[in-house]
Amino acid sequence: MANLIDIYHKLLEHFGEQGWWPAETEFEVIVGAILTQASSWTNVEKAIENLKSEGLLSPEALLQASEEKLRRLIKPVGYYNAKTLKLKRFVEFLHENYEGDLDKLFDRDTEKLRLELLSVWGIGQETADSIILYAANKPTFVIDAYTKRIMSRLGLVNEDTTYSDLKKFFELQLPGDLEIYKEFHALLVELGKNYCKTKPLCGKCPIRDICAEWKSSSKRN
């Protein structure tokens, strides 16, 4: 069975350091994590630039902004009505519980922080873990569709493995290192975007030699 840390090093050698998350502030990471749900990062960048140009990339500014204005500014990401509400619910939660201070929120231990984030309307497990890892700088592994697809094709998990079980799978095998968690997630996204697509490009994949699906298809051919 393939070793996760070996996979990590193979991907790091192939793609190089990714330096995620691309943002200037912790709050920008949070906004990006909410906006990127079912959207491409290119469109998220457009929306963030719109917010930035209007001086709205702070909890207080977003809290005061009208929903109509936010909808217009984040329109590039799609689902802008729902995402406007998600941004509003988060800053309202932060204002009501932590006086708008992210440092106070991030002082919570990881599990309590995760539970609180998940209690906010519109924040699911992937978004919560992205916020914890890349904004709060606490080690928690982020699972996304790419990760599930890759691990399933490698033969390491079943297709119906739950988010929680796959997260636990990573965290039990990897050292609890913040930078490894950050890089590994980013590297898996690169692998998913470039090679392990819905229709995979197995012949050029940097980890095809340890992939169960690749070996199986090679035998058939």
- Domain spans in the chain, listed from the N-terminal domain onward: 4-18+143-220, 26-134
User: Can you read off the two tokens belonging to residue 124?
Assistant: 């699911």
pLDDT at residue number 220: 54
Q: Given this model, what pLDDT does residue 212 score?
A: 86
DSSP code for 198: S
Identify the CATH number of the domain defined by range 26-134. Answer: 1.10.340.30
pTM: 0.96
Structure confidence by residue, pLDDT tens digits, 85-130: 999 999 999 999 999 999 999 999 999 999 999 999 999 999 999 9
Tokens of 87: 């941004």
Return the CATH number of the domain spanning residue range 4-18+143-220.
1.10.1670.10
Name the DSSP letter for residue 205.
Answer: -
Largest distance between two CA atoms of the chain: 62
The CA R_g of the chain, rounded to the nearest whole Å, is 19
